Structure 1
Amino acid sequence: MAAPAPAPAPQPAPSALPVTFRPTRTRVVLLTAGAVMFVAISAIGLLLDDLHPGERLSFILTALLFSGVLALLSRPKVVADETGVTVVNITRTHRLEWAEILRVNLRPGDAWVFLDLNDGSSLPVLGIQPGVAKAHALRDARALRALSESRTATGAPGPGPRPSGG
Protein backbone atom coordinates (compact mmCIF):
# COMPACT_ATOMS: atom_id res chain seq x y z
CA MET A 1 0.00 0.00 0.00
CA ALA A 2 1.48 3.33 -1.09
CA ALA A 3 1.83 6.27 1.25
CA PRO A 4 -0.44 9.25 0.49
CA ALA A 5 1.11 12.01 -1.61
CA PRO A 6 2.37 14.94 0.45
CA ALA A 7 0.25 18.07 0.43
CA PRO A 8 1.56 20.81 -1.86
CA ALA A 9 3.61 23.49 -0.16
CA PRO A 10 1.72 26.72 0.44
CA GLN A 11 2.08 29.09 -2.50
CA PRO A 12 3.59 32.44 -1.51
CA ALA A 13 1.50 35.45 -2.44
CA PRO A 14 2.85 37.46 -5.39
CA SER A 15 4.93 40.32 -4.03
CA ALA A 16 4.29 42.86 -6.80
CA LEU A 17 0.72 44.09 -7.14
CA PRO A 18 -1.28 44.54 -9.27
CA VAL A 19 -1.10 41.06 -10.73
CA THR A 20 -3.25 39.77 -13.60
CA PHE A 21 -4.35 36.16 -13.99
CA ARG A 22 -5.74 35.05 -17.35
CA PRO A 23 -5.91 31.86 -19.44
CA THR A 24 -3.17 32.92 -21.86
CA ARG A 25 -3.19 29.84 -24.13
CA THR A 26 -6.96 29.91 -24.49
CA ARG A 27 -6.83 33.63 -25.25
CA VAL A 28 -4.15 33.16 -27.94
CA VAL A 29 -6.10 30.31 -29.57
CA LEU A 30 -9.39 32.25 -29.58
CA LEU A 31 -7.92 35.49 -30.91
CA THR A 32 -5.89 33.68 -33.56
CA ALA A 33 -8.91 31.65 -34.66
CA GLY A 34 -10.97 34.84 -34.81
CA ALA A 35 -8.41 36.61 -36.98
CA VAL A 36 -8.00 33.61 -39.33
CA MET A 37 -11.77 33.18 -39.59
CA PHE A 38 -12.26 36.88 -40.33
CA VAL A 39 -9.66 36.83 -43.10
CA ALA A 40 -10.92 33.56 -44.62
CA ILE A 41 -14.63 34.46 -44.66
CA SER A 42 -13.94 38.00 -45.90
CA ALA A 43 -11.64 36.68 -48.65
CA ILE A 44 -14.27 34.20 -49.78
CA GLY A 45 -16.86 36.97 -49.89
CA LEU A 46 -14.58 39.23 -51.90
CA LEU A 47 -13.34 36.54 -54.30
CA LEU A 48 -16.72 35.14 -55.35
CA ASP A 49 -17.56 36.75 -58.69
CA ASP A 50 -21.35 36.37 -58.65
CA LEU A 51 -21.95 38.38 -55.45
CA HIS A 52 -23.46 41.86 -55.31
CA PRO A 53 -21.83 44.47 -53.03
CA GLY A 54 -24.48 43.90 -50.33
CA GLU A 55 -23.78 40.18 -50.31
CA ARG A 56 -20.04 40.83 -50.06
CA LEU A 57 -20.72 43.14 -47.13
CA SER A 58 -22.80 40.44 -45.45
CA PHE A 59 -19.83 38.05 -45.64
CA ILE A 60 -17.59 40.64 -43.99
CA LEU A 61 -20.18 41.47 -41.30
CA THR A 62 -20.67 37.77 -40.56
CA ALA A 63 -16.91 37.32 -40.24
CA LEU A 64 -16.80 40.34 -37.93
CA LEU A 65 -19.61 38.88 -35.79
CA PHE A 66 -17.83 35.53 -35.41
CA SER A 67 -14.55 37.27 -34.56
CA GLY A 68 -16.33 39.48 -32.03
CA VAL A 69 -17.81 36.46 -30.24
CA LEU A 70 -14.37 34.85 -30.03
CA ALA A 71 -12.92 38.13 -28.71
CA LEU A 72 -15.61 38.18 -25.99
CA LEU A 73 -14.75 34.60 -25.05
CA SER A 74 -11.08 35.61 -24.71
CA ARG A 75 -11.90 38.50 -22.33
CA PRO A 76 -11.88 36.80 -18.87
CA LYS A 77 -9.18 37.82 -16.43
CA VAL A 78 -8.63 38.56 -12.75
CA VAL A 79 -6.70 41.60 -11.57
CA ALA A 80 -5.62 41.64 -7.93
CA ASP A 81 -4.39 44.88 -6.38
CA GLU A 82 -3.84 46.29 -2.90
CA THR A 83 -7.53 46.96 -2.24
CA GLY A 84 -9.21 43.95 -3.84
CA VAL A 85 -9.92 41.96 -6.97
CA THR A 86 -11.48 42.85 -10.30
CA VAL A 87 -13.08 39.81 -11.94
CA VAL A 88 -13.71 40.24 -15.67
CA ASN A 89 -15.89 37.45 -17.05
CA ILE A 90 -17.32 37.25 -20.58
CA THR A 91 -19.83 40.11 -20.35
CA ARG A 92 -19.66 41.32 -16.73
CA THR A 93 -17.04 42.88 -14.50
CA HIS A 94 -17.15 42.59 -10.70
CA ARG A 95 -15.08 44.60 -8.24
CA LEU A 96 -14.58 42.94 -4.86
CA GLU A 97 -12.78 44.13 -1.75
CA TRP A 98 -10.51 41.56 -0.12
CA ALA A 99 -12.81 41.36 2.92
CA GLU A 100 -15.67 40.18 0.68
CA ILE A 101 -13.78 37.03 -0.38
CA LEU A 102 -14.06 34.17 2.09
CA ARG A 103 -12.52 31.38 0.03
CA VAL A 104 -10.87 30.73 -3.35
CA ASN A 105 -11.91 27.30 -4.68
CA LEU A 106 -10.70 25.19 -7.58
CA ARG A 107 -11.95 21.68 -6.95
CA PRO A 108 -11.23 18.68 -9.18
CA GLY A 109 -13.61 18.78 -12.12
CA ASP A 110 -14.35 22.52 -11.84
CA ALA A 111 -14.17 24.39 -15.15
CA TRP A 112 -12.86 27.52 -13.39
CA VAL A 113 -12.18 29.02 -9.99
CA PHE A 114 -15.05 30.03 -7.73
CA LEU A 115 -14.91 32.73 -5.07
CA ASP A 116 -17.07 32.14 -2.00
CA LEU A 117 -18.27 35.58 -0.91
CA ASN A 118 -19.29 36.89 2.50
CA ASP A 119 -22.90 37.43 1.33
CA GLY A 120 -23.32 33.66 0.91
CA SER A 121 -23.00 33.69 -2.87
CA SER A 122 -20.34 32.22 -5.11
CA LEU A 123 -18.76 34.03 -8.05
CA PRO A 124 -17.27 32.14 -11.01
CA VAL A 125 -13.85 33.42 -12.06
CA LEU A 126 -13.37 32.48 -15.71
CA GLY A 127 -9.92 34.08 -15.73
CA ILE A 128 -8.46 31.00 -14.03
CA GLN A 129 -9.52 27.83 -15.83
CA PRO A 130 -7.66 24.51 -15.93
CA GLY A 131 -9.01 23.35 -19.30
CA VAL A 132 -5.94 23.87 -21.50
CA ALA A 133 -3.17 24.59 -18.98
CA LYS A 134 -3.97 22.80 -15.73
CA ALA A 135 -0.63 23.43 -14.01
CA HIS A 136 -0.82 27.14 -14.86
CA ALA A 137 -4.39 27.37 -13.51
CA LEU A 138 -3.45 25.56 -10.29
CA ARG A 139 -0.51 27.91 -9.78
CA ASP A 140 -2.74 30.96 -10.39
CA ALA A 141 -5.49 29.65 -8.09
CA ARG A 142 -2.97 29.05 -5.30
CA ALA A 143 -1.47 32.51 -5.78
CA LEU A 144 -4.93 34.14 -5.66
CA ARG A 145 -5.78 32.07 -2.58
CA ALA A 146 -2.53 33.17 -0.89
CA LEU A 147 -3.26 36.80 -1.73
CA SER A 148 -6.78 36.50 -0.36
CA GLU A 149 -5.62 34.81 2.83
CA SER A 150 -2.83 37.33 3.43
CA ARG A 151 -5.13 40.31 2.82
CA THR A 152 -8.02 39.05 4.95
CA ALA A 153 -5.77 37.82 7.78
CA THR A 154 -4.78 41.41 8.52
CA GLY A 155 -8.28 42.83 8.24
CA ALA A 156 -11.63 41.19 8.90
CA PRO A 157 -11.88 37.95 10.87
CA GLY A 158 -11.40 34.87 8.72
CA PRO A 159 -14.17 32.41 7.88
CA GLY A 160 -12.42 29.44 9.46
CA PRO A 161 -10.29 26.74 7.90
CA ARG A 162 -10.05 26.54 4.14
CA PRO A 163 -10.02 23.26 2.26
CA SER A 164 -6.65 22.16 0.99
CA GLY A 165 -5.70 21.20 -2.53
CA GLY A 166 -6.04 22.70 -6.03
Structure 2
Amino acid sequence: MRILTDVMKRNNYEAEPMLHSCGITINSHFTQVQGRMLSAPRLKVGNGDDVTPRNGRWNFNHKKFVEPARIENWAVVNFSAYCDIRGLCRDLAKFGEMKGISISPPMEVFEESPQLQRAPPAVQVEKMFEQIQPKFPANPPRFLLCLLPDRKNCDIYG
Protein backbone atom coordinates (compact mmCIF):
# COMPACT_ATOMS: atom_id res chain seq x y z
CA MET A 1 0.00 0.00 0.00
CA ARG A 2 2.91 2.29 0.81
CA ILE A 3 4.30 1.86 -2.71
CA LEU A 4 1.00 2.94 -4.26
CA THR A 5 0.79 5.97 -1.97
CA ASP A 6 4.35 6.98 -2.87
CA VAL A 7 3.58 6.69 -6.59
CA MET A 8 0.51 8.89 -6.19
CA LYS A 9 2.61 11.55 -4.45
CA ARG A 10 5.41 11.31 -7.01
CA ASN A 11 3.02 11.70 -9.95
CA ASN A 12 1.73 14.96 -8.42
CA TYR A 13 -1.62 14.82 -10.20
CA GLU A 14 -2.95 17.92 -8.45
CA ALA A 15 -0.36 20.02 -10.32
CA GLU A 16 -1.16 18.52 -13.74
CA PRO A 17 -2.53 21.33 -15.98
CA MET A 18 -4.28 19.01 -18.43
CA LEU A 19 -6.30 17.40 -15.63
CA HIS A 20 -7.22 20.86 -14.22
CA SER A 21 -8.34 22.12 -17.64
CA CYS A 22 -10.66 19.10 -17.97
CA GLY A 23 -12.01 19.49 -14.44
CA ILE A 24 -10.56 16.18 -13.30
CA THR A 25 -9.30 15.74 -9.76
CA ILE A 26 -7.64 12.67 -8.32
CA ASN A 27 -7.95 11.94 -4.62
CA SER A 28 -4.59 11.04 -3.11
CA HIS A 29 -6.25 8.80 -0.50
CA PHE A 30 -7.46 5.34 -1.41
CA THR A 31 -11.01 4.26 -0.70
CA GLN A 32 -11.16 1.89 2.23
CA VAL A 33 -13.55 -1.03 2.29
CA GLN A 34 -14.21 -3.86 4.71
CA GLY A 35 -12.93 -7.20 3.54
CA ARG A 36 -11.94 -10.60 4.76
CA MET A 37 -9.50 -13.29 3.73
CA LEU A 38 -11.10 -16.33 2.16
CA SER A 39 -9.54 -19.70 2.63
CA ALA A 40 -8.18 -21.21 -0.55
CA PRO A 41 -10.55 -23.62 -2.24
CA ARG A 42 -9.84 -27.32 -2.16
CA LEU A 43 -9.95 -28.93 -5.57
CA LYS A 44 -11.47 -32.30 -6.30
CA VAL A 45 -9.27 -34.62 -8.36
CA GLY A 46 -9.57 -38.18 -9.62
CA ASN A 47 -10.32 -41.01 -7.19
CA GLY A 48 -12.40 -38.59 -5.10
CA ASP A 49 -9.32 -36.99 -3.52
CA ASP A 50 -9.17 -33.32 -2.52
CA VAL A 51 -6.11 -31.15 -3.09
CA THR A 52 -5.43 -28.38 -0.59
CA PRO A 53 -3.01 -25.64 -1.62
CA ARG A 54 0.29 -25.16 0.17
CA ASN A 55 2.12 -21.87 -0.07
CA GLY A 56 -0.54 -20.62 -2.47
CA ARG A 57 -0.22 -23.51 -4.95
CA TRP A 58 -1.99 -26.75 -5.66
CA ASN A 59 0.29 -29.71 -6.25
CA PHE A 60 -1.11 -32.00 -8.95
CA ASN A 61 1.85 -34.38 -8.97
CA HIS A 62 0.60 -37.97 -8.97
CA LYS A 63 -3.02 -36.77 -9.35
CA LYS A 64 -5.49 -37.46 -12.14
CA PHE A 65 -8.38 -35.36 -13.41
CA VAL A 66 -11.91 -36.11 -12.21
CA GLU A 67 -13.24 -36.33 -15.77
CA PRO A 68 -10.22 -36.58 -18.05
CA ALA A 69 -10.73 -35.78 -21.71
CA ARG A 70 -9.76 -37.84 -24.70
CA ILE A 71 -7.68 -35.95 -27.26
CA GLU A 72 -8.21 -37.26 -30.76
CA ASN A 73 -8.33 -35.68 -34.17
CA TRP A 74 -5.47 -33.24 -33.66
CA ALA A 75 -2.39 -32.17 -35.61
CA VAL A 76 0.97 -30.52 -35.04
CA VAL A 77 2.09 -27.38 -36.86
CA ASN A 78 5.83 -26.83 -36.59
CA PHE A 79 7.16 -23.31 -37.09
CA SER A 80 10.38 -24.27 -35.25
CA ALA A 81 13.23 -25.81 -37.22
CA TYR A 82 14.84 -27.41 -34.17
CA CYS A 83 12.29 -29.69 -32.56
CA ASP A 84 11.97 -33.42 -31.98
CA ILE A 85 8.28 -33.55 -32.82
CA ARG A 86 7.90 -37.32 -32.49
CA GLY A 87 9.56 -37.23 -29.05
CA LEU A 88 7.42 -34.29 -28.00
CA CYS A 89 4.20 -36.08 -29.05
CA ARG A 90 5.33 -39.24 -27.27
CA ASP A 91 6.07 -37.27 -24.06
CA LEU A 92 2.78 -35.39 -24.33
CA ALA A 93 0.88 -38.69 -24.53
CA LYS A 94 2.89 -40.11 -21.62
CA PHE A 95 2.27 -37.12 -19.34
CA GLY A 96 -1.37 -36.95 -20.41
CA GLU A 97 -1.79 -40.60 -19.44
CA MET A 98 -0.34 -39.81 -16.00
CA LYS A 99 -3.22 -37.34 -15.55
CA GLY A 100 -5.79 -39.76 -16.96
CA ILE A 101 -5.96 -38.09 -20.37
CA SER A 102 -5.88 -40.36 -23.40
CA ILE A 103 -3.99 -38.68 -26.25
CA SER A 104 -4.03 -40.32 -29.67
CA PRO A 105 -1.09 -39.75 -32.02
CA PRO A 106 -1.49 -36.64 -34.19
CA MET A 107 -3.32 -37.11 -37.47
CA GLU A 108 -0.63 -35.16 -39.27
CA VAL A 109 2.53 -33.15 -38.63
CA PHE A 110 3.00 -30.04 -40.75
CA GLU A 111 6.49 -28.61 -41.17
CA GLU A 112 7.04 -25.04 -42.24
CA SER A 113 8.91 -24.66 -45.50
CA PRO A 114 12.47 -23.37 -44.85
CA GLN A 115 11.90 -20.69 -47.52
CA LEU A 116 9.10 -19.19 -45.40
CA GLN A 117 11.04 -18.94 -42.14
CA ARG A 118 12.10 -15.36 -42.90
CA ALA A 119 8.70 -14.32 -44.30
CA PRO A 120 6.45 -11.94 -42.36
CA PRO A 121 4.44 -13.74 -39.63
CA ALA A 122 1.09 -13.23 -41.37
CA VAL A 123 2.49 -14.85 -44.52
CA GLN A 124 3.95 -17.76 -42.54
CA VAL A 125 0.61 -18.49 -40.87
CA GLU A 126 -1.42 -18.02 -44.07
CA LYS A 127 0.84 -20.37 -46.05
CA MET A 128 0.62 -22.94 -43.28
CA PHE A 129 -3.18 -22.83 -43.38
CA GLU A 130 -3.02 -23.26 -47.16
CA GLN A 131 -0.96 -26.40 -46.53
CA ILE A 132 -3.32 -27.74 -43.82
CA GLN A 133 -6.77 -27.16 -45.32
CA PRO A 134 -6.55 -29.51 -48.35
CA LYS A 135 -5.50 -32.41 -46.09
CA PHE A 136 -8.76 -32.29 -44.11
CA PRO A 137 -11.63 -31.31 -46.45
CA ALA A 138 -14.32 -33.12 -44.42
CA ASN A 139 -12.91 -33.68 -40.94
CA PRO A 140 -10.53 -30.90 -39.82
CA PRO A 141 -8.53 -31.32 -36.61
CA ARG A 142 -10.25 -30.12 -33.47
CA PHE A 143 -6.92 -29.05 -31.98
CA LEU A 144 -3.72 -27.71 -33.57
CA LEU A 145 -0.57 -27.78 -31.46
CA CYS A 146 1.60 -24.98 -32.89
CA LEU A 147 5.30 -25.17 -32.09
CA LEU A 148 6.95 -21.76 -32.23
CA PRO A 149 10.67 -20.97 -32.51
CA ASP A 150 12.61 -20.72 -29.28
CA ARG A 151 13.71 -17.16 -29.98
CA LYS A 152 12.42 -14.27 -27.91
CA ASN A 153 12.89 -11.88 -30.81
CA CYS A 154 10.90 -14.03 -33.24
CA ASP A 155 8.21 -11.99 -35.05
CA ILE A 156 5.71 -14.85 -35.21
CA TYR A 157 4.89 -14.29 -31.52
CA GLY A 158 3.20 -11.01 -32.48
**Greater helix content:** 1
Higher strand content, 1 or 2 = 1
What's the TM-score, normalizing by structure 2? 0.22
Instruction: State which structure, 1 or 2, has the greater radius of gyration over its C-alpha atoms.
Output: 2
Higher relative contact order, structure no. (Cα contacts within 8 Å, ≥ 6 residues apart): 1
TM-score, reference length from structure 1: 0.21
